[in-house]
Every structure is written in C-alpha cells, then in structure tokens.
C-alpha cells in the first residue's frame, strides 16, 4: 500500500485544477488494485449556485467525475513509469446508479477498483458513499491518451 496523499500530491498526479478538481485526499492506495479517496463537499462549490439554489444537491455527473478522478490516480500509480503523464479519458460508464443525494457538509468517499488494464483501455468499478452508505456506483471505461 502506498498510503495517503494530500492535495499537493494529488495535484502532481491529476491535470485537473479548480474548480474541477474533485478529490481532496487519498486515504488508501494499492497500485493495481484499488484507491479510496475523499471529497469534502462544501456550500462554496461553484455548482451549488445553480444546482439548486434553494436546495443544494451535488450533480450526479460530478459524483461520477469524482469517482473517475480517483480512478485516474489509481491508474497513474498502476501503469509503468514510462507511460505515466498521459491524459486519461472517460470512454463509457455502465451500471450507473444514484441512490441518495449528496449535499453540502457531506464527505464523499470514493472507492475505485481496477478490473482490467490493457495497453490503452482500463475498466474500473467504483462506489461513492456518505457516512458509509452508498450514494452512487458505476463501472467505468477509460483510455490512456497519446503520448503514453
């Protein structure tokens, strides 16, 4: 296990930046196997201005994006060093389910497991939970961009 990463280490791995970085901390990382990551959901998130002003709810697509970013960290640490640094792109999502809403004050904990890693394509399965209750789940396909 590689252990915990703070936001500075995450910013070294992911190309995302404010307002689109959706992982605040890595709680556990086992290269080639799984990552557990945390997103602190606060009322200051820019998407809450419009989704929805009177009843703020984190958009489901951003929950999936947070899971994807956690998966990107896992993938970056699971591929050979000479392939690191390539952009990772979503290719598809299957079996997506949203079970509960995510609101300001929640801590979103994403667990993403590597299912299959090929030359340029990866399959991962993830869950997002608040207070140990699953709020979303999905299978994700991603590809490694050129340059890797």
pLDDT in tens, 107-117: 999 999 999 99
Q: Is the pTM of this model over 0.75?
A: yes
Note the pLDDT tens digit of each residue in 131-145.
999 999 999 999 988
Domain locations in the chain as residue ranges: 7-144
Per-residue pLDDT at 86:
85
**Residue 119's pLDDT is what?**
83
Say whether pLDDT at 147 is over 90: no
Given a cut of 60, whether residue 148 has pLDDT beyond it is: no
pLDDT for 39 equals 98
Half-sphere exposure of 133 (CA within 13 A, CB side): 8
Which active-site residues does the annotation give?
51
Q: Provide the b/e sequence for 74-110 (b: ≥16 CB within 10 Å).
A: bbbbbbeeeeeebebeeeebeeeeeeeebeeebebbb
For the beta carbon of residue 138, count every other beta carbon within 10 angstroms: 23
The listed CATH number (3.30.70.260, 3.20.20.70, 3.30.160.270, 3.10.129.10) that belongs to domain 7-144: 3.10.129.10
Cβ atoms of 125 and 138 within 8 Å: the answer is: yes
- Assess contact for 115 and 125: CB atoms under 8 A: yes
pLDDT reported for residue 1: 63
Mean pLDDT of 96-102: 98
């Amino acid at each position: 296990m590689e252990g915990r990463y703070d936001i500075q280490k995450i910013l070294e791995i992911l190309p995302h930046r404010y307002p689109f970085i959706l992982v605040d901390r890595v709680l556990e990382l086992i290269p080639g196997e799984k990552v557990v990551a945390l997103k602190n959901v606060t009322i200051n998130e820019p998407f809450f201005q419009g989704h929805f002003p009177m009843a703020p709810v984190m958009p489901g697509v951003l929950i999936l994006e947070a899971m994807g970013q956690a998966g990107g960290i896992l993938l970056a640490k699971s591929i050979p060093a000479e392939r690191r640094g390539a952009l990772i792109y979503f290719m598809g999502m299957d079996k997506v389910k949203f079970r509960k809403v995510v609101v300001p004050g929640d801590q979103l904990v994403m667990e993403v497991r590597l299912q299959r890693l090929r030359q340029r394509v990866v399959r991962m399965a993830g869950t997002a939970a608040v207070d140990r209750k699953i709020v979303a789940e999905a299978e994700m396909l991603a590809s490694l961009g050129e340059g890797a």
